[in-house]
Structure 1
Amino acid sequence: MATVTSTVREEAEIGRRHTPDFGGRTLLLEASLLVIFTLSTALAIVGTIPIWAAFFCNLVVLYSLYTVVHEAVHSNISSRRKSLRWIDPVAGVIACAPLWLNYHQHKRQHMAHHSHTNHDDDPDIYARGSFLGWVFLRLPHALLNYFNPIQQYRQCKRFNCTPREVVYTAVSFSVYAAILIAALAAGFWREVLFLWFIPWWIGQTVMLTFFTWTPHHDHHEIGRYRNSRVSIFPGANFLLQGQNYHLIHHMIPSIPYYRYRASFEEMRPILEQKGVRIEGFWPQGERKAQVTG
């Protein structure tokens, strides 16, 4: 039997070279997205721009904003600056608001995903199955549960949120609900529908598909080199905000999204040796790993 040589130390060294001291680029992304969202919404409400133009602006924002949340969850904004750890939850909480996400609960859930990727107790295992079943059944059910306070409390308990984090979740959910109810009561149902809810639904559908379904499909393979994949096609890095290199994130979560590609290119000979899934746009599903020593 051939001996498989560990390359984890070499991979970690590559990861260190691609981990910045501070993830200021993510803060710039967040600020830009929030400015676009605020301006497009305000200009549409006063009639300066057509509502359809604001719709598409907000769709892009609500698709892109989760990247900020994801970086914050992994402390990739403060990065090596441990004295600035407070920036991650602040940036994360702000980015979560337009997405109707509860930052502290979501962080616990996402860490569980990393610990149990593709196992039956993976929080994202609900994505396991066909694409049509994902888009038309499992994902809509998950999105509707964002608005279910009982389900949100159950998720807090499931992922062992502290009592303080449960309170934070309840407060954030209540604030979101109060803003939504106030907007509807004031007669802004059309604006809520076309400037937030529909763009949110489409944006989250696309985002979760490329963060959850495609990187891990068919959600059965486990292990450092097989629990996710690399997807290479024209424009992928820009359109998917680096998540076409999702395997890199699972291997070394401290690498920020804007350095996934460079990390992959440096690490590629190792990854090919380990039998990783380097595919095109559409996932090929489970196949036998070809690992050589």
Structure 2
Amino acid sequence: MVHSDDLINNKDIFDSLRQQPKLACPTIILFVLCIGFILGSTWAALNGHISYLTACFITGTTGYFLFSPMHDAIHSSVGQSKALNTSVGRISFFYYSTFVAFELMRFIHFRHHRNANGPGDEADHIIQSGPAWLRPIKWAFLDYIYGWKYLGYWKTRPKSEKQNIIIMLLLTIVMWTLLIINGYLIELLMLWIIPQRISFFLLSFVFVYLPHLPNEVSEQEDVYRSTSNRVGMEWLLSPLMGYQNYHLVHHLYPDVPFYRMVKIWNSRLDEHLSHDPAIVSTLGLYPQPAKKERNSNTREQSSKIGDTN
């Protein structure tokens, strides 16, 4: 265990944290626990041990925490094995949205990293903008927004990727149809579809909406102001928010496992702070005002620190 004082501005620790783990054990443990809770609550409800409403709440909130392993799988941060990352991603996303395949989610998410807060090419910008009353509805249907956005790239995407998406879509139609005609509509709604929407609502609010407020600076303008770190009470907010309270770190170093983000920020603290990053107070909504004007060098400077995908 590294003492917190030893962690601050420690290049050796920074370099070690930048190395891809052979196997990200905390990620795997969280993945297994989440899948176990989802399957367990479903089994308990189907066998009358808990109500469908209780199972719906358990599965929906567990699915929110499952996002961290799935998100790390998108960035190949679960381990050095491509097959492992793909498996974790596909299994996780099968819960989230069978209509929208993992490969589709990965492609659109990478577009987000290239142009965060930028309108037009940015799918996440859709759920961050528009009438305030409509945004929560968008949060709950993030996967459908991603799917709609993907259609604009359909002709240019690899054949194998499109085949996987079509297979998952057809599988979903067949599976849901069989469940409905055999009298399992309520089970389908309460144990899968509604929990999906709960999970997407929570993760969209915490991982997409909050970190990018006020949506005024794009990634291309200044990566350090396009998203933020929520500083304070890390002992509570980091586990509750899947470490996305330090979302800026993720945009600087997308391939770093989620559980390393606070440490990697502190291990190069002075360098990070020199770029006037967007910092939000513990319970605040908006970051502190910029201390300096943005310029054409900010993107180049930040790219030297971390990957931007």
Structure 1 unaligned regions, length at least 5: 1-9
Aligned residue type for 1:172: M
Contact 1:44 1:50 in 2 (8 A): yes
2:88 equivalent among 81, 87, 91 = 91
Q: In the TM superposition, what is the alpha-carbon distance from 1:193 to its structure 2 partner?
A: 1.9
Residue range with higher mean Cα deviation, 279-288 or 243-252: 279-288
Question: What is the one-letter code of the residue matched to 2:226?
Answer: N
Shift of 1:273: 2.4
> Partner amino acid for 2:117?
N
Moved more, 220-229 or 87-96: 220-229
Counting aligned pairs with the same residue, the percent is: 19
CA contact (8 A) 2:228 2:280 kept: yes
SS in 2 for 1:230: strand
Give the C-alpha shift of residue 240 in structure 1: 0.7
Q: Would the alpha carbon gap of residues 195 and 15 (structure 1) be closer, same or farther in structure 2, given more than 3 Å must change?
A: farther
Partner SS, residue 242 of structure 2: coil
TM-superposed deviation, 1:263:
1.6
How many Å apart are 1:25 and its aligned residue?
A: 2.4
What is the CA-CA distance between 1:143 and the residue it aligns to? 5.0
The match for 2:179 among 177, 183, 199 is 183
Q: Hey, what's the Cα distance between the residues in 1 that align with 2:36 and 2:166?
A: 27
- 1:127 alignment counterpart: 127
Aligned equivalents of 2:134, 2:232: Cα separation in 1: 23
Taking the TM superposition and a 5 Å limit, the aligned residue runs for 1:34-49 are 34-49=35-50
Q: Distance in 2 between matches of 1:253 and 1:142?
A: 20
Q: How does 1:69-108 map to 2 (within 5 A)?
A: 69-78=70-79, 81=80, 84-100=81-97, 101-108=100-107
Tell whether 2:223 aligns with 1:224.
yes
1:283 aligns with 2:279: no
**SS of 2:226's equivalent?**
coil
Which letter does structure 2 place at the counterpart of 1:263?
Answer: I
Scaled by the length of structure 2, the TM-score of the pair is: 0.79
Q: Which amino acid aligns with 1:14?
A: F
Match in the other structure for 1:109: 108
Q: Which moved more, 1:263-272 or 1:164-173?
A: 263-272
Residues 22 and 44 of structure 1: is their aligned pair in 2 closer, same or farther, counting only changes over 3 Å?
same
Aligned residues of 1:69 and 1:91 also touching (Cα < 8 A): yes
Tell me if the contact between 1:237 and 1:243 (Cα under 8 Å) persists in the aligned partners. yes
* Candidates 196, 203, 213, aligned match of 2:199: 203
Secondary structure of the 2:256 match is: coil
- Quick one: distance in 2 between partners of 1:210 and 1:193? 24
Which shows bigger deviation, 11-20 or 178-187?
Answer: 11-20
Moved more, 18-27 or 178-187: 18-27
**Normalising to structure 1: TM-score of the pair?**
0.83
Aligned CA RMSD, in angstroms, stands at: 2.8
Q: State the match for 2:190 in structure 1.
A: 194
Say whether the 8 Å CA contact 1:74–1:253 is kept in structure 2: yes
Verify the 8 A CA contact 1:275 1:291 in the aligned structure 2.
no
Number of residue equivalences: 276
Question: For residue 201 of structure 2, what is the amino acid of its counterpart?
Answer: T
Contact 1:15 1:255 in 2 (8 A): no
1: CA distance, partners of 2:112 / 2:288: 19
Instruction: Give the gaps of 5 or more residues in structure 2.
Output: 1-9, 295-300, 302-309
Q: Which runs of 4+ in 1 moved over 4 A?
A: 10-13, 140-146
Shift of 1:278: 1.4
Code of the residue aligned with 2:139 in structure 1: it is: L
